[in-house]
């Protein structure tokens, strides 16, 4: 295992994503907050707040160690419970100001579980997904096309498999509703050798800006009013619900004693909940759930 190479890549990825997003925003830059964790390890959080384009953008790097793998990491592999571990990754959530620019999330990570007298067990995970407030077919197709192209060198079956996994994972069970229009999600990836798995993680990480930045550039100057803004704040509530109830990364961070400010940087600065809100039929707000928030094969439909 080349753990130092993975860490070096993740730090470079954080740098490159922050540079691209700050350039696209043009009105604010990321502040840097380095932190240490008592049990072992630490991280480097970067947050852009109140920008011209991004109301809040957080890009977090962490590398943490512990004596016992937290339940959220061993739930699907109970045989690993009780092992010591180290985990490193980059995780980001971008909340734009303009309701016509989608929220986006990305994460790439490496876990290593260790036990005295046994070979280390490693796996990669990650992916990215897109959460629009006002749907746009061009954006959905572009997002999935970049995701497909990132997967293509690793096999024709990879994109359909991880696209379906994303649709299944980013789903609010209590509302029977997808969080967004999907993308890629993978976890427990060690079926390939380490170098191939690492190369795939890099392909996913490196393609994120190619997937997201053109969408931001196309939509960031779209005119909007209070109606669109209030709908955006309402829909952000779904994002909060998923991250606090279902997200494995959030649960891992809290269960492992991570830094709360870094873990919860994914939450939007403003959000609202309305009791039993129903959009008017035939509106763009109704179209979001009726058409866009469905498990669609965007590339086949294109």
Residue 248 has a pLDDT of 78
Cα(251)–Cα(70) distance, rounded to whole angstroms? 9
Residue 33 burial class via C-beta count within 10 angstroms: exposed 0-12, middle 13-18, buried 19 and up: middle
Question: How would you classify the pairing of strands 183-189 and 41-49?
Answer: unpaired
Cα(252)–Cα(53) distance, rounded to whole angstroms? 30
Task: Tell me if 237 is assigned to a ligand binding site.
Answer: no
DSSP 290: I
Listed range (10-14, 41-45, 73-77) with the worst mean pLDDT: 73-77
Residue pair 125/145 in contact (Cβ under 8 Å)? The answer is: no
pLDDT tens track for 39-58: 889 999 999 999 999 999 99
Q: Is the pLDDT of residue 258 over 90?
A: no
Q: Residue 225 corresponds to which tokens in the numbers above?
A: 């009013």
Task: Tell me if 91 is assigned to a ligand binding site.
Answer: yes
Residue 74 has a pLDDT of 63
The catalytic residues are 105
Cα(276)–Cα(32) distance, rounded to whole angstroms? 40
Average pLDDT over residues 71-95: 82
pLDDT tens track for 180-195: 999 999 999 999 999 9
Task: Tell me if 257 is assigned to a ligand binding site.
Answer: yes
Share of the chain above pLDDT 70, in %: 98
Residue 252 has a pLDDT of 74
Residue 73's pLDDT band (boundaries 50, 70, 90)? low
Domains and CATH numbers, the chain: 3-292 (3.40.1500.10)
């Amino acid at each position: 295992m080349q753990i130092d190479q993975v860490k070096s890549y993740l730090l470079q990825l954080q740098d490159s994503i922050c540079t691209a997003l700050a350039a696209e925003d043009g009105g604010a830059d990321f502040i840097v907050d380095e932190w240490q964790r008592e049990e072992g390890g630490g991280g480097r959080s970067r947050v852009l707040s109140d920008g011209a384009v991004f109301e809040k953008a957080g890009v977090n790097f962490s590398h943490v160690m512990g004596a016992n793998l937290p339940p959220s990491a061993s739930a699907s592999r109970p045989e690993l419970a009780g092992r010591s571990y180290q985990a490193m990754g980059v995780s980001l959530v971008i909340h734009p100001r303009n309701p016509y620019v989608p929220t986006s999330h990305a994460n790439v990570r490496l876990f290593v579980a260790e036990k005295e007298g046994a070979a280390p067990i490693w796996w990669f995970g990650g992916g990215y997904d897109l959460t629009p407030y006002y749907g746009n077919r061009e954006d959905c197709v572009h997002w999935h096309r970049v995701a497909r192209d990132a997967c293509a060198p690793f096999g024709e079956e990879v994109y359909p498999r991880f696209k379906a996994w994303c649709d299944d994972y980013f789903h609010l069970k209590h509302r029977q509703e997808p969080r967004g229009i999907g993308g890629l999600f993978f976890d427990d990836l060690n079926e390939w050798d380490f170098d191939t798995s690492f190369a795939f993680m890099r392909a996913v990480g490196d393609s994120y800006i190619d997937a997201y930045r053109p969408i931001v550039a196309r939509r960031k100057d779209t005119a909007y009013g209070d109606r669109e803004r209030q709908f955006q704040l309402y829909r952000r509530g779904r994002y909060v619900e998923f991250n606090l109830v279902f997200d494995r990364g959030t649960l891992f961070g809290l269960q492992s004693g991570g830094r709360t400010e870094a873990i919860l940087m994914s939450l939007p600065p403003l959000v609202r909940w309305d009791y039993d809100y129903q959009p008017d039929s035939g509106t763009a707000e109704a179209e979001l759930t009726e058409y866009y928030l469905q498990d669609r094969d965007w590339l086949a439909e294109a």
